Structure 1
């Protein structure tokens, strides 16, 4: 897809686009009514002030946090149509403010950690509706069964299932709105909760009021995922469809509130001992079986959006050097549709672990939200720098950012109350992810600092002579090296050492390939530099941070183009093969570093590098990561020396 076509797609508003948006983007935030009001009331007796205050807080959270911050402001921070915290980081990276890597890594890790708890809580909340009919049923095996099915179908892509998503979510949001409206008609008085005074009274007057914010926050947890999935549907489609989604959500929350106020003084369990969830209580008895089925399907769709989002996030993290290289598959020809097996099965294990640990959705509510609020604070920090880049007036930036920091830090403090009740689970997971990302990033930086770069000019003469030196057996017709040197006139010293000293490698043509990952998502460009005619060439690939690095295929395309233009002759130079126009062989040489025993390191470098090499054992090999054919690849090991020891003074005695 060309950049102009991509831009056209993202700036276009269409009915089809709006429907797809409903199916893909709003699953997470759209299934929040399943558990938000239930968690606010808890096991306490229903109190009108708490109900009105809770609904008022939900309404203003959806307005200030989701509508204004995410739908209006954050969606403007798109990176060529793509969203998400890493896409935002790629934009603000240009400011050269080095510490911005911190909020990017924390935010990305927190979002991934919360992705492990979203599928279990959504599916469990929906499935628990069955208890209305089968009070003693153990829902854990059903929830695990649905999750296993959901993660197993990922490898086939979501193209077919995607067509089913949009109409299903249309039914879901329609159901939310109608159910809520029916209850509001019976108690119109509940609409006074639109007045923010009720939210204020709950927070200030009610003894537990401030900590209720931790449960109110659950109504906006899908906002970050909404931003991450922007690339699939486009900004305009999200903004227009959000009007319908927000109306449906608000109607449902107010409807649940109207129902609860009618039952003041009772507990949810005393209203219905089998299923004390206000979401199901507002349904007519005859409709409940249908409601449970629709809710379960909506929960599965919500989970799907988060799984796809996790794949995208890890893919970006790899390209930005935050994550080890892992296998990526492309199950369909759809743009942006990827499948990462290792992440898929790790997420499934995490989800099953969450279900087995917490068992009930009410227990999961206690753990949910703590990590995502960290992600939102990190997005706010990065957004500040984005607005500075865009030269937005400080008179607008300061009050806006202060407002959101106050709101989000309040949510964070309220959510900290959840830490001992299960919040530690997502924080532990996020911490592990932060550790891996930080180690990988720092190790790459250390490695780059200790890579010696030399000028190609110094080696032109010897390479040209080596190419025609018949006393050295020919290694390959075409010898290809991957290089990290950014400048065209430079190359790593180890490459020259490999060609000239580590068994001299005579070839007819030497190729140096450099892959440059761009700050924009989709770009596929290349540039060819002729260093010595018919002897040395350098190819620079400029790839977007969401593009696949299929170097084998790309290199073939470049060669084909160069041959068609008469820029290079790739026919074999062996006389018998040349006569018959046989194409010469291509040999790739990749270097693999290992930590030299001669290295002298500080303790923190030792920790970083040893952990890096340990994690590297589980990641893809270099040839797999570059998409090379292993039959034509030679791996050479090179020692990596950090802080070489002082010269040893020896005395000769004989």
Structure 2
């Protein structure tokens, strides 16, 4: 849009906004990463603290943030911007013409990110609230977490633009606090800085039989990396890249500070249920304030994931990868939207996570596995983007080899979590995949049986019927929504509706086609006068992030055409015409119903069976296109899977 170039400018406001809406997830990771690294299964006591474990853990964190977050996302993936927008569906829109199979990694990645949106709020908020148990042992943290999550989802419908303005300063305080706390402990043991040497990471991985389990814990430090790319459109590449320098420095300083606190207890076992290293490096008098700031940061992180989930669903709807659902726009802020159905499904999922796992330590088992899948899918799509940009094949090969190895290793490191809780997020992701894939395939099956005909064969009869006063006038202006991509074609069912299914005389017939294009905010139209003054086709080219309010868009087109003298919409009834009264408009939406047939394979019948249920809970076509229902006629027509010529039937006397 017009502010795309403004977003790419490096500004203080842009840097602050980046801190507020992008780094919530990755910025709250220090709350639980070291707990996960030193923790043991089914026991509140940690592994015995050793230099190998602690220094190796910090080294793995540093190099994971460097290779995975900095190089892959901040340096490489942020360049894959779609007119300033980022995210896995924006990336898919950029490369989908390269190969049809790219729909698979796009859908898997999108589902994995949505599943991540269900586990992130519970684990981050629980991590912060459980810090209160240091002050109040036995505090019912689970009930507090559920109350915060419930309130968070309730306020979504009112918009978060006002609250969002405070996110930047609060997150700046959060990161600065973490950095300062880290420096205070590093000063006590400067030797901890040697952990930045990758040697210690290699030593830990080669000397510990729990290496893969430790890798699964380390991966939690980079789980918010996808948000860097998803929120590209809100902040701009330069603001994200510069703000990341500060964020990464504060994160590393805090991890090093936690490492010092642990090294001071070398040889001991820490009760991680009561002594979270993150809170232990806080001065005692500051602890209650630190917990308060951590809680607010956790809520901000959750808000970012929820908003990201709404954007994902909205994009999936526009790309025909999700059932049509209601999408509201609670404020004028760009990118600010609310999807009621997704909101309450996410709310139920988050509360279900809290009730199922109860404590943050147990939630860690469900965290990380799905997001690893999303990162792998992004790697595949980015490689196609690099190919599109004519990057040399050997560089693309190196990129794929390095990141498939890194993320494949992390995937193996997270596989042990499947039985401990990873099954939950994978199950959610699988259900989401079934919905997306069913909607996509069902549309392809239906389109296979839509018959298109040459419209110019019907020019004369349409013109004659429009002037035939023996046919009752159906409407002054009659508008049909068509899926025909070419001006020369139209669905046979539209011609059938006009000429045979209650012949419909009108002064002017309109064909309206909506083409969802790869650019996110494109909003253009073309007009083709097929029969001057009688049959007009309007083609809308709308970006995958543009709301498809066809009622308003079509009205704007008609106003432009009237102003230019290209069309006359004055009523032709004599009594109304002399007073220059505008004629009536009526939309006709043809709903294609698939008739029962044995021609479909078993797989296709299963898809259409699931689709029929999804169709019941989705918005109707007329509501999805924002049409005024008092001026809409819906006609259901069957899609014939078997032509009459192929039916064998013998007449007997």
TM-score by length of 2: 0.98
Question: Structure 2 matches for 1:447-462, cutoff 5 A?
Answer: 447-462=446-461
Aligned to 1:80: 83
Equivalent residues of 2:7, 2:14 under 8 A apart: no
| Residue 301 (structure 1) aligned with residue 300 (structure 2) | yes
Equivalent residues of 2:446, 2:594 under 8 A apart: no
Instruction: Give 1:25 deviation, angstroms.
Output: 0.6
| Residue 67 (structure 1) aligned with residue 70 (structure 2) | yes
| Residue 26 (structure 1) aligned with residue 11 (structure 2) | no
Aligned to 1:261: 263
Rounded Cα–Cα distance in structure 1 between residues aligned with 2:621 and 2:294 = 45
Rounded Cα–Cα distance in structure 2 between residues aligned with 1:565 and 1:650 = 58
SS in 2 for 1:422: helix
**What's the RMSD between the two structures over aligned residues?**
1.1
| Residue 52 (structure 1) aligned with residue 51 (structure 2) | no
Aligned to 2:500: 501
| Residue 651 (structure 1) aligned with residue 653 (structure 2) | no
Instruction: Give 1:645 deviation, angstroms.
Output: 7.3
Equivalent residues of 1:598, 1:644 under 8 A apart: no
Question: Structure 2 matches for 1:432-511, cutoff 5 A?
Answer: 432-511=431-510
Equivalent residues of 2:258, 2:281 under 8 A apart: yes
Could you tell me which of 204, 208, 221 is aligned with 1:202? 204
Rounded Cα–Cα distance in structure 2 between residues aligned with 1:267 and 1:537 = 78
Instruction: Give 1:360 deviation, angstroms.
Output: 0.2
Instruction: Give 1:651 deviation, angstroms.
Output: 3.3
| Residue 637 (structure 1) aligned with residue 639 (structure 2) | no
Rounded Cα–Cα distance in structure 1 between residues aligned with 2:338 and 2:548 = 15
Aligned to 1:431: 430
Instruction: Give 1:613 deviation, angstroms.
Output: 1.7
Rounded Cα–Cα distance in structure 2 between residues aligned with 1:422 and 1:199 = 27
Instruction: Give 1:599 deviation, angstroms.
Output: 5.6
Equivalent residues of 1:329, 1:338 under 8 A apart: yes
Aligned to 1:112: 114
Aligned to 2:517: 518
Aligned to 1:534: 533
Instruction: Give 1:643 deviation, angstroms.
Output: 4.5
SS in 2 for 1:540: strand
| Residue 322 (structure 1) aligned with residue 321 (structure 2) | yes
TM-score by length of 1: 0.98
Question: Structure 2 matches for 1:90-101, cutoff 5 A?
Answer: 90-95=93-98, 97-101=99-103
Rounded Cα–Cα distance in structure 1 between residues aligned with 2:309 and 2:48 = 39
Instruction: Give 1:173 deviation, angstroms.
Output: 0.3
Rounded Cα–Cα distance in structure 1 between residues aligned with 2:64 and 2:564 = 60
Rounded Cα–Cα distance in structure 1 between residues aligned with 2:439 and 2:534 = 36
Rounded Cα–Cα distance in structure 2 between residues aligned with 1:196 and 1:645 = 72
Instruction: Give 1:598 deviation, angstroms.
Output: 4.8
Aligned to 2:169: 167
Rounded Cα–Cα distance in structure 2 between residues aligned with 1:362 and 1:629 = 51
Ranges in structure 2 where 5+ consecutive residues have no aligned partner: 40-45
Aligned to 1:179: 181
1:250-305 C-alpha deviation (Å, 9 max, x unpaired): 00001000110001122221xx8x62211001111100000000000000000011
SS in 1 for 2:478: strand
1:116-135 C-alpha deviation (Å, 9 max, x unpaired): 00000000000001101110
| Residue 614 (structure 1) aligned with residue 627 (structure 2) | no
Rounded Cα–Cα distance in structure 1 between residues aligned with 2:25 and 2:643 = 52
CA pair 221-644 structure 1, distance change in 2 beyond 3 A: farther
Equivalent residues of 1:202, 1:210 under 8 A apart: no
Equivalent residues of 1:599, 1:643 under 8 A apart: no
Rounded Cα–Cα distance in structure 2 between residues aligned with 1:268 and 1:27 = 28
Aligned to 1:288: 287
Rounded Cα–Cα distance in structure 1 between residues aligned with 2:301 and 2:596 = 50
Aligned to 1:158: 160
Rounded Cα–Cα distance in structure 2 between residues aligned with 1:497 and 1:70 = 53
Equivalent residues of 1:38, 1:277 under 8 A apart: yes
SS in 2 for 1:94: coil
Rounded Cα–Cα distance in structure 1 between residues aligned with 2:647 and 2:327 = 48
Instruction: Give 1:520 deviation, angstroms.
Output: 0.9
Equivalent residues of 2:212, 2:414 under 8 A apart: no
Equivalent residues of 1:32, 1:219 under 8 A apart: yes
Instruction: Give 1:389 deviation, angstroms.
Output: 0.7
CA pair 598-377 structure 1, distance change in 2 beyond 3 A: closer
Rounded Cα–Cα distance in structure 2 between residues aligned with 1:602 and 1:33 = 51
| Residue 39 (structure 1) aligned with residue 42 (structure 2) | no
Question: Structure 2 matches for 1:171-250, cutoff 5 A?
Answer: 171-250=173-252
Aligned residues: 647
1:168-193 C-alpha deviation (Å, 9 max, x unpaired): 00100010100111010001111110
Rounded Cα–Cα distance in structure 2 between residues aligned with 1:643 and 1:440 = 23
Instruction: Give 1:226 deviation, angstroms.
Output: 1.6
Question: Structure 2 matches for 1:373-412, cutoff 5 A?
Answer: 373-412=372-411
Rounded Cα–Cα distance in structure 2 between residues aligned with 1:260 and 1:393 = 46
Aligned to 2:3: 6
Rounded Cα–Cα distance in structure 2 between residues aligned with 1:643 and 1:26 = 55
Rounded Cα–Cα distance in structure 1 between residues aligned with 2:597 and 2:637 = 13
Rounded Cα–Cα distance in structure 2 between residues aligned with 1:593 and 1:489 = 21
Aligned to 1:605: 604
Instruction: Give 1:650 deviation, angstroms.
Output: 3.3
Instruction: Give 1:528 deviation, angstroms.
Output: 0.7
Rounded Cα–Cα distance in structure 1 between residues aligned with 2:212 and 2:586 = 65
Rounded Cα–Cα distance in structure 1 between residues aligned with 2:141 and 2:404 = 39
Rounded Cα–Cα distance in structure 2 between residues aligned with 1:21 and 1:178 = 21
Instruction: Give 1:646 deviation, angstroms.
Output: 6.5
Equivalent residues of 2:181, 2:281 under 8 A apart: yes
Rounded Cα–Cα distance in structure 1 between residues aligned with 2:596 and 2:405 = 51
SS in 2 for 1:617: helix
Instruction: Give 1:94 deviation, angstroms.
Output: 2.3
Question: Structure 2 matches for 1:574-613, cutoff 5 A?
Answer: 574-598=573-597, 600-613=599-612
